[in-house]
Structure 1
C-alpha cells in the first residue's frame, strides 16, 4: 500500500470519526483522502460492518471502501477510563463526526455542549435521520426509510409504476457529502474567527432539498403552475437503449439530435417527421423516445459512440459493474486499481475522483482492523500530555 505520510489540502487537520455504517464513515474517508488525520473511535465488538468478507470477519467490502486513510482506536465509551481517553482525543481534534442518536450522546456525556466545554474550537458534525426539534427526532432512520420520507419513493412510483427503493444507498451517500461540505465550511469559518460550532445534518431534510431541485417543478410557483415531478425524468422512455450488441444511453436533446439519430439508423422517414422539424420542438414526447429505442438496435454501441461524438449527441455506454475494472475509462483514470491489503490480500480499491493541481489527495492507509491503532494513538496522546 501507499506510504503513511500525510498529504493533500487537509494536511494538518485532525478528524474524529465516531460514526458507523456508511453516511459518516464515507464523509470521514473523503476527508482522509484529502490529507486529514482521521481517527476512528470504535466500540470493541460492537462494530457494524456489512457486506461480504474474504479472510477476516469485519473486514467487509463496504468497510474497505469507506474506512481507508483512518486509524482505528477501540474504546469502550461506557468505561470511565476509556471514556476519558476518548474525550482527550477529541480535545486534540479540529472536527468530530457522529451519527449516534441524541439520547445516546446525552447518556455518554458526548453532546456538543459536553465536548465544546473542553474544546470550544471543535466543529461538531452530527448526522441523524430527522431534525432534532421535530416529533421524529428519536426515530430510527435508514436509507430506505429516508428515501420514502423525502419523496424519492413517490417519484419512483409515478415514473416507474412501482414504489421501489432505488438500488443505491443514495440517501446515505448524499448525506455523507452534505456532512463533508458543511464541515469544511465550518472549518473555514473557524479559520477566520477561531469559533467552533455544532452542525446538524438531518438525512431526511437533506434528501428533501436534494429531490426538490428539479422535482418541485410547477409547485415552485404559488399558486402552482403545473404538477410536481421533472417532466423529462418522469417519461417512461427516459432510459438507456438496447443497441445491436449491448446497452447505451443515447439521449437526444434537440430536434437536430433526433434527426441525426434517425439518419444514422437509416431512417430518413423519421428524420422528416414534423415533430422534429418545427420551431416549436417539444423534448417532452415519449413517442420520440420509443422511436429512438427502435433505431438504437440498428447500430452497435461503438458505432453509436462514433455517431454521437460526430454530431454532438449526448451518449454514454452503460458501464457493467462486473467488468468495471476492464473499462478503458475506469482503468486509465485509476478509478479501480488492484492493490495489496495487509490482511485481506489483493483487493480492488476505488480511486480518488477529484484532482488538485497543487495539493493532490492520496490513499496512504488501507482500511484498518478494528482497534488496530489503539496503542499507537494512545501513546501519542500520552506524549502530548507530557
Structure 2
C-alpha cells in the first residue's frame, strides 16, 4: 500500500542529524529519497558505535534512503546534480550559509533548473546575522535558545539536555514545513524556498512552558515557579516514577493510587493554585507513599485509578516496557552483513497510507550505479566517472 508521501522525490544533500532526520521522516512516509554524500561520507557514519562505515545513529536517521556518493567539487559532477535537481520535488541541505551557492546549487540556480522544486535549507543560527559564520552543533543552540537554562544542575547552573534536542526538533519542524510547502504547491502550482534555523526551532519548542514567565510585556502578572522547578522524578522502593497533578482530577486519582484519599479531601489541596501555595504540606506525604512502594505496584495503581504516571526506564530496558512492546515502537531491521539493527518505527500512524516499516540505510555509494543508470548514464560512462573519482560506488 502506498505511503502518504509516495511519488514525492527528495534530494538530500544534508548531513549529521537535523536535515537527514527530516528526510528520513519523508522516506518513512513513502518518499523516494536519494542521499548525496561526499566521497568521505556523512561524518555521522563515524558517530557512536558502528560496524564498518555504518554507525547506529547514521542508520536511524538515514534509513529507507538510496545513496549516491559524489564529489561535488569536480566539474564532471555538475551534469549529474542538474539532472537530479530536475528529477526532484524537494531538495534538503544544511550546509553553512552560502556553501550551496559556492557549489553552484543555490536556490536561484536550482529554481532555474526546476521551477517546481521545494528548496529546504536548514541552518544553525540563520542565513545571516552576527552568528552567520559560526559553525553550529546542538550544544551551541541549546545554550543560545535558553534550553540549557531550563536544565539546572544541583548547583543551579544551566546544563545540557543529554540528547541532540535541537537537531531533532529542527528535523521535526523542517519535515512539517516541507510537507506544508508541497501542499501549497499542490494547490497553487507555486514552489518556494523553506528556511529553518535550529535557533528559531529551538526557541519555539522551548517557549510554551519554559518561558511562560517571560511572555507578558504589559503589566505582567506575578511570576510563578518555573515549570522546570516543579518537574521531578520520584524515588520508589526499587526505582523511580514520574507523576503529574496539573488537573484536580489527576490529584484525586494520584491520592487514590497511593491510598491517601485524605490528601485529596483536604480543602487546601483541592485546587491546583492552592496546591502550589501549600506544596510543602502535601509533597512530603506523597513522596513518602511513593518511596514505600515498588514500581510495579505503583504502575498497577496508576493504571487502576487513571492517575498520571510512568516508570523511569533505563536506556537498556526501554524496549521491555509493556506499553512500548504493545505499541511495537521499536522494530528490527535486517541489515544484511551488519546483522539485525533496532530502530524506532515512524511515530505517525496513517489508516489509509501506512508508513514503511524501518528499512536499511544506504552504504556509502551503495546505489550510485543504479541512480546514474536511471539518469541515462551508460555503463561505460559510469565506469569512467568512478575511475575519475567523481562517483564512489559500492563494489558489485
Q: Same fold (TM over 0.5)?
A: yes
- Tell me, yes or no, if the aligned pair for 1:257 and 1:311 is still in contact at 8 Å: no
CA distance in 1, matches of 2:97, 2:110: 14
- Per-residue Cα deviation, 1:141-186 (whole angstroms, up to 9, x for no partner): 1110000111112222399712101111110011001110111111
Other-structure match for 1:221: 216
Q: Which of 221, 238, 245 in structure 1 is aligned with 2:238?
A: 245
Unaligned runs of at least 5 residues, structure 1 = 1-5
CA drift of 1:324 comes to 2.0
Q: Please, what is the CA RMSD of the aligned residues?
A: 2.5
Other-structure match for 2:374: 380
Other-structure match for 1:281: 274
Q: Are positions 1:304 and 2:298 aligned together? A: yes
CA distance in 1, matches of 2:260, 2:203: 43
Distance 1:60 1:356, change over 3 A: same
- Per-residue Cα deviation, 1:288-316 (whole angstroms, up to 9, x for no partner): 33432222112222222232233332111
- Tell me, yes or no, if the aligned pair for 1:325 and 1:337 is still in contact at 8 Å: no
1:249-264, aligned counterparts within 5 Å? Answer: 249-255=242-248, 257-258=250-251, 261-262=254-255, 264=257
Q: Which of 337, 348, 357 in structure 2 is aligned with 1:354?
A: 348
Distance 1:179 1:193, change over 3 A: same
- Tell me, yes or no, if the aligned pair for 1:124 and 1:198 is still in contact at 8 Å: yes
Q: Which of 183, 186, 189 in structure 2 is aligned with 1:191?
A: 186
DSSP-derived class of the 1:281 partner: helix
The normalised TM-score by structure 2 is 0.87
CA distance in 1, matches of 2:277, 2:67: 52
Q: Are positions 1:345 and 2:352 aligned together? A: no
Other-structure match for 2:13: 18
DSSP-derived class of the 2:334 partner: strand
Distance 1:66 1:224, change over 3 A: farther
Other-structure match for 1:328: 322
CA drift of 1:266 comes to 5.3
Other-structure match for 1:162: 157
Q: Are positions 1:319 and 2:313 aligned together? A: yes
My pick for the range that moved more, 251-260 or 300-309, is 251-260
Other-structure match for 1:210: 205
CA distance in 2, matches of 1:280, 1:155: 22
Distance 1:200 1:266, change over 3 A: closer
CA drift of 1:246 comes to 1.8
DSSP-derived class of the 1:40 partner: strand
Other-structure match for 2:361: 367
Distance 1:367 1:227, change over 3 A: farther
DSSP-derived class of the 1:35 partner: coil
- Per-residue Cα deviation, 1:234-291 (whole angstroms, up to 9, x for no partner): 32x5212111222211223345644554565455665565522579633465523343
The normalised TM-score by structure 1 is 0.89
Aligned residues: 376
Other-structure match for 2:389: none
CA drift of 1:119 comes to 0.6
CA drift of 1:86 comes to 1.5
CA drift of 1:52 comes to 3.3
Other-structure match for 2:61: 66
Distance 1:244 1:80, change over 3 A: same
- Per-residue Cα deviation, 1:18-61 (whole angstroms, up to 9, x for no partner): 000000000000100000000000010142024334431x2001
Unaligned runs of at least 5 residues, structure 2 = 379-396
My pick for the range that moved more, 211-220 or 239-248, is 211-220
CA drift of 1:63 comes to 0.6
Other-structure match for 2:48: 52
DSSP-derived class of the 1:44 partner: coil
My pick for the range that moved more, 218-227 or 87-96, is 218-227
